[in-house]
Structure 1
C-alpha cells in the first residue's frame, strides 16, 4: 500500500507556472494567438499572480472561467504575503481554482 503524498509549496508553484507556461501551458494556448503571453519556466510567484490577473481580463477567456481565474489570482496573491501553513493553504487554493478552471473549458455556462 502506498501512502498519498501532498505537494510541497514549491511543487504547487511549479504547477501554477506549468498552467501558464509560454510553450505548453493550457491557459496561454486557450487565448492564442491574441491573448496574454505565457510565462518562462523560471517565473516567480509574483509573475504568476500578475499573469493570472492578465488572463482574467483577456477577452479570449470564456466568461465562465473569469471568476475562477480571479479567485486563483487572489489566492496566489495572498500566498505572497503569508508564511508557513497559511502560505501553503493559499498556494493550494490557487492550484485548486486553476484546476477547476481547466475543467470548465468546453462546458456551457
Structure 2
C-alpha cells in the first residue's frame, strides 16, 4: 500500500509574535512558497513574514491533516504555544531540518 504524506504545520515570524497554521502535501515546497510569497504578495504570511517553521506533524490521510488544521485554528494562542513547546521547547526554527535554508529563488 502506498504511503502518503500530508502535514499540518505552524509558522511564525522572526519575532515569534504571529502564528499561522496550514496544511500541505509537500512541506519543503510550501515553505519555499511562503518564503518567496508565491501565493500572493498580499497574503497573511507575506504581510507578517511568517515563514519560520516551529511545529509540524505528518498525517497519512489528507482529511486528518485538514481536521487537525481546523482544530488548531480554533484554539486560543496560549494553547497553540503549548503545543509548540511540547515538541519544540526552544522555538527553534525547523526549516533547515526540512530543506536547505534559506532557500534560493529558482524563478
TM-score range for the pair, normalised by the shorter chain length = under 0.3
TM-score by length of 2: 0.26
Select the structure with the greater relative contact order (CA < 8 A; seq sep ≥ 6): 2
TM-score by length of 1: 0.26
Q: Looking at secondary structure, tell me which structure has more strand per residue.
A: 2
Q: Looking at secondary structure, tell me which structure has more helix per residue.
A: 1
